[in-house]
Structure formats: C-alpha cells, structure tokens
Structure 1
Amino acid sequence: MKSTIVLCSILWITFIPHSFAQEQGYVLKENIPYLETSDASDYTKQRCKLDIYYPNNKSNFTTIVWFHGGGLKAGNKHIPEKLKEKGLAVVAVNYRLSPKVKCPVYIEDAAAAVAWTFNNIEKFGGSKSKIVVSGHSAGGYLASMIGMDTQYLEKYGVAADSIALLVPFSGHTITHFTVRAERGIAGTQPIIDAFAPLYFVRPEAPPLVLITGDRELEMLGRYEENAYMYRMMKVAGHTKTKLYELDAFNHGGMVSPALEILLKEIEQLNKIQAE
C-alpha cells in the first residue's frame, strides 16, 4: 500500500458571487518586455515578454508569477482560467527556449521576470510582500530554481527569500532532463548538481508547496523526486515545506486540481500575513 505525506484527491471549489465578479474589474496588459539586455536579437525581443492580469479596483493584492511548461523546449505564456477573477494578479511569462539557448539562460529569464514583478507590482496596486512564484512542469522547475538558488535574483537586488510562497507543479527537483540532454546525458540518468533545486536545500528558503500527480502516472519518478526534496528540506531544518500527491491524476491532468491547492495555500498565507 502506498503512503504519501499529504494525499489529495478531492477538488476544492472556490465560489465567487456573480455580483463580486461584476464589481471587481480586471485588466490584462500583454507583451511587456521584462529583460534589459545588450542582446538585441529578434528572438530575445520575441520571447522575453510577460502579460499581467490584475484587479483594477483593489490594492495590496497577491500576485502569482506563472511559468508555463513544455520541457524548456516549447510552450507559451497564458493566464490559467482558474486563477481569473479571484481578486489577485497573475504575471504570465515567456522565456527563451532550448535549443535556441542553453542552460542557464531560461533560468536567468525566469529570474528577470520575477525581479520585474517585485520592481513593478506596486504600480498596479499589488503588494511586494505577496508575490507567489509557481508554474507547471518546466515552469515548476524554473520557479524552484530561482527560489532555491539565491544568485539569480541577487543579480537584480531581490532576495529570493522575500518570495511569499513557492508552488511548483510537477517540477523536476533534480537537474532538468533538457539541461541533461544539452550535455548529452540521457533522461533516465539522474543528476543533482548546481542546476537542481535539490542542490540548494536550506532552512531559510521561502515556504515551499510541492505538488505532483499520482506516482504511478507521473513522468520519470517525478513524485519520488519531490518526496525526496520534501524530506531533505525537513532534514535541513525548513519548517514550511508541504508535499501533495494527487491520486489518479497524470502529469498533465494534475494541473487543474493543483490550481485549487494553490488558491487554498494563498488563502492561508493571506490569513497568516493579516494576523
């Protein structure tokens, strides 16, 4: 019989009255450049952009920086439907992709987008103390890397530990398989090095919520990687790490219920910050 740290197979439904949705207006601003660089290539100009979706009749709101999946080789920014009209902002990020760039360029892009959010969210009414970083698959890996390895955000004068919450969805905690492929290493050969979130376990890291699909349906041991990350964070003295395994959901199917967990975790975070 399999065991898990937190077993979750029930979906939470967040009900928002219709009248509230009507009163709470939202704005979408698209294709905002977030990276200042001497690289003026068309590809950089095309990919290093973000969208911001935010409530225009509210202040001090939470912001989710959302990184799309696609194996660091594909995918495009989008605002998840379940995060719309929830009284919070979403910053959806495009980043440069392999093989047009190599590691660590996509990690550096992710850090630049998060730094942009810290430096600009108050202009839209949001709070710098309520920035949550999340994403699915490759996006979850990027979220974890910039939250665990402090050097990427330090470049912009932002402390990684000022991230309010890290919530990677089914992200690698070992070195990403695309990073390995760039070196000619097979995806079945696990590596933990400076491009693995696991390499940077530390007690002072932001609160961390690890979410995966069913261990029997996930990609290449993704649950077990996250379970080991959970255990090592605890061993390192980090007291705010959680692990969810979503029974009966595969790698792609876990996104919808994981978004419900993300919203619940933000709700709990806001209650703690308000105390």
Structure 2
Amino acid sequence: MNSPHPAPSTTLARRRWLTLLGLAPLLQACSPFRLINATVPSNTHTVLRGEAYGNAERQRMDVYLPVDKTPDAPMAVFFYGGSWSSGERADYKFVGEALASRGIVTVVADYRLSPEVRYPVFLQDCALAVRWARDNARRLGASPSRLFVTGHSAGAYNAAMLALDARWLAEVNMRATELAGWAGLAGPYDFLPIVLPEVQLAFNWPDTPASSQPLFHAPAGTGLKHRVLLLAARSDTAVNPQRNTLAMAQALQQRGTKVELELFDRLNHVTLIGAMAPPLRGLAPVLDRFSSFLLQRPT
C-alpha cells in the first residue's frame, strides 16, 4: 500500500525520532518540534516572521536570511508535510536555519489545510507564496533566477505540482520555467487510489482527477530546464520510495531532465527531514545534498 502519511501514526513516528535524541520522556510535556528547534543556533541567520503573501490567516511565511550570503544568493521556498491537514511553519525553524547557515535565503510557508480547504486550494496558496518569493527576492538579497521550490512529504508533492503542472503558477502570472529547479524529500507523487481518510477528504476522493498526481505530469510537464533533486529513505514505510521517488526520477530522466537522486539508509520518513537538525545530522548527509543542490550555479 502506498500512502503519503506515516504508516505508524505521526505521533508514533515523532516518538521514535525523540527516542533517537534521548528525549522521549519529555514527549508528553513539550512539542517534539519545539525540542528539536531548541537545538538550533541563532547566530547563523536572522528571521522575518509572519510575512503575508495573501489575506488569509494561514497565508503567512517566515523568511530565514543568512548572516553570510552573497548578493545573489539562491532562494528556497519550503513546504512542510502533514497529509495536507496539519503542520505549521514554526515547527520547521530547524529547516530554515539549516539552509540559511549554508547561505541560502529560505522561506518556510504556511498554507491552508483540509478540512478548511480541498485540492487544489493548497496548491494555489503555494503558488502565491512562490510569487511573493520571486517578487521580493532582490530585496532579501537573493536572485530571482535562483528560485527553487522544495518540500518534504505532502510539501514535496506541492513543490512537484508547481514545477510540473503549469496551471498553478500561471494563475499568479508566473511561468514554471522561471524556477531554477525543485527538490522533493520523500514526496508522494502517485497515490491513487486514496486510502487514508484525511487524504480522501483533502482530495475529494473518489472524485480525484488523475491530473492531481505529479507523476501524471512528469512525461510531458513544464519545460526541461528544471534541475531536480529527489531524496528519500530507502526503508520508508509511509511513502513507498520505489513507486514515488524512483518512478518520478525515471520518468523525468526519460524526458531529458537532469535529476539528482539518493536513497538513504538508516533513515525513515520522519528522520529524513529530521536529519537537517543539528542533533541528527550525523545520521545521513541530507543537509549536504540539499544545500549543495541549491547552491549550484545555473549553467
């Protein structure tokens, strides 16, 4: 079975993450993300909090600015996971800091969630966030020509859809070919039929179009100029890497797109993104692969 949501519940997955950190006894007293974020250094970045890209309460983002950056730094818009029904940008401070510490201007964006909205509204929110990033890149010390969409799990789905299906950026008067590339960590790119109730709700199952799936667009999607990074945990039991990450890589490579691909051992669906945080970086070089991809100069 393929699912974009952890096979063990998110709570159990987070408990395993905390066990690795030796923090499991504190699980009941404090958010696990808050514990992770408590390890993040403050001298690598500054933060612009609550920047608005729309009028809705959840159309907000935090921007992590590197202390040391070039005048034309790359810019990454990061979307988090949560089955399109949970998550908030404050939980992903560790991602913003990790990328900013490598000289990358990083936007961590909230977007409206189910059951408040359904597909494709969360994609429309993400497109607005990317438009804001492009329009404000120079003010923030980044280059609009080095703009990437990125994400983990459901957020990787959002990034893939913006890159591959031209409809969503076109709605905000952008072309997907304006993106320098996209990066997906453990993304669900092909998950029909939908079996999880919260995802069924988010995608109006069974009235879910095939065009809602990123893999549907891979053979003939938006231009070939994108560079793509696909990372996953080899033993991910939440989002099957063969059906999703490897199948996406193969489809893109067949059409001539340059794809960087790696499956990591010793990681699972949660620790793949958790390895961006200081206490878990020794598990696998996720941050090194992610940041080096974003820092590459366009050719």
TM-score category by the smaller chain? Answer: 0.7 to 0.9
**Residues 231, 25 of structure 1: CA spacing in aligned structure 2 closer, same or farther, 3 A cutoff?**
closer
State whether residues 137 and 169 of structure 1, in contact with CA within 8 Å, keep that contact through their aligned partners in structure 2. yes
Q: Distance in 1 between matches of 2:102 and 2:239?
A: 34
Q: Distance in 2 between matches of 1:217 and 1:165?
A: 24
Which of the residues 86, 104, 119 maps onto 1:74? 86
Q: TM-score, normalised by structure 2?
A: 0.72
Deviation of 1:195 after TM superposition, in Å, equals: 0.8
Query: Which runs of no fewer than 5 residues in structure 2 stay unpaired?
Result: 1-40, 276-284
State whether residues 188 and 239 of structure 2, in contact with CA within 8 Å, keep that contact through their aligned partners in structure 1. no
Deviation of 1:150 after TM superposition, in Å, equals: 0.8
Q: For 1:206-244, what per-residue CA distance to the aligned partner results, in whole angstroms no more than 9, with x for missing partners?
A: 111111111x33314234222111111222x22312321
SS of residue paired to 2:210:
coil
Output aligned runs, 1:148-187, within 5 Å. 148-175=164-191, 177=194, 179-181=199-201, 182-185=203-206
Deviation of 1:249 after TM superposition, in Å, equals: 1.1
Deviation of 1:192 after TM superposition, in Å, equals: 7.4
Which of the residues 226, 229, 233 maps onto 2:252? 233
SS of residue paired to 1:212:
strand
Output aligned runs, 1:209-224, within 5 Å. 209-214=229-234, 216-224=235-243
Query: Which amino acid letter does the alignment assign opposite residue 197 of structure 1?
Result: P
Matched, 1:147 2:185: no
Q: Distance in 2 between matches of 1:88 and 1:221?
A: 29
Q: For 1:156-188, what per-residue CA distance to the aligned partner results, in whole angstroms no more than 9, with x for missing partners?
A: 221112211210110111147555444345xxx
Query: Which runs of no fewer than 5 residues in structure 1 stay unpaired?
Result: 1-20, 37-43, 186-190
Q: For 1:32-67, what per-residue CA distance to the aligned partner results, in whole angstroms no more than 9, with x for missing partners?
A: 11025xxxxxxx22x110111113664111111111
Query: How many residues are aligned here?
Result: 235
Matched, 1:200 2:217: yes
> Taking every aligned residue pair, what percent have the same amino acid on both sides?
25
SS of residue paired to 1:194:
helix
Q: TM-score, normalised by structure 1?
A: 0.77
Query: Which amino acid letter does the alignment assign opposite residue 253 of structure 1?
Result: T
Deviation of 1:137 after TM superposition, in Å, equals: 0.5
Deviation of 1:26 after TM superposition, in Å, equals: 3.6
Q: Which residue number corresponds to residue 64 of structure 2? A: 53
State whether residues 163 and 181 of structure 2, in contact with CA within 8 Å, keep that contact through their aligned partners in structure 1. no
Deviation of 1:261 after TM superposition, in Å, equals: 1.1
Superposition RMSD in Å: 2.4
Q: Distance in 2 between matches of 1:245 and 1:166?
A: 17
Q: Which residue number corresponds to residue 244 of structure 1? A: 262
State whether residues 26 and 55 of structure 1, in contact with CA within 8 Å, keep that contact through their aligned partners in structure 2. yes
Which of the residues 119, 123, 126 maps onto 2:142? 126
State whether residues 59 and 110 of structure 2, in contact with CA within 8 Å, keep that contact through their aligned partners in structure 1. yes
Q: Distance in 2 between matches of 1:122 and 1:107?
A: 24
Q: Distance in 1 between matches of 2:72 and 2:191?
A: 36
- Name which of structure 1's ranges 60-69 and 202-211 shifts more when overlaid on structure 2: 202-211
Matched, 1:115 2:131: yes
Q: Distance in 1 between matches of 2:161 and 2:199?
A: 13
Query: Which amino acid letter does the alignment assign opposite residue 211 of structure 1?
Result: L
